[in-house]
Amino acid sequence: MTTPTPVRPTLRVVRDPRPGLIVECPVASCVEVRFTPGLVSRWRIEESPGHLVPISQEDHHFTFVVFAGRPDEDYRPLRLVRFRPDRDCDVEERELHVLPSLRREPQPA
């Protein structure tokens, strides 16, 4: 009798994404968006598409699980905003597109 090899979800890390970046991730994988920490500024999720579910949110990094979404769904961008807690205005906005893929990435041996 053979024991099935467990499938570990893929984790794709994106550091300081440029605006408009397109990232393709397998369904059921995780994507982590990391920003270089500033002295005072913080980041927040302004808008998240339905196929991305946040599982971790910190001041400078966010982790999402990627789902397939509906075939008729328009894949909206993930919008993240940098702000300063001591001011009442946003400093910067980044949009990136995380597209689900049905391809599985090879697992390390």
Q: Where are the domains of the chain?
A: 11-100
Residue 5 confidence class, pLDDT cut points 50, 70, 90: low
Three-state DSSP state, 100: strand
Q: Distance between CA 79 and CA 52 in Å, rounded?
A: 12
Tens of pLDDT along 45-89? 999 999 999 999 999 999 999 999 776 667 889 999 999 988 888
> Has residue 13 got a pLDDT over 90?
yes
What superfamily in CATH does domain 11-100 come from?
A: Protein-arginine deiminase, N-terminal domain (2.60.40.1860)
For residue 35, give Cα distances in angstroms to 20, 64, 97, 107. 15, 15, 16, 27
pLDDT score recorded for residue 75: 81
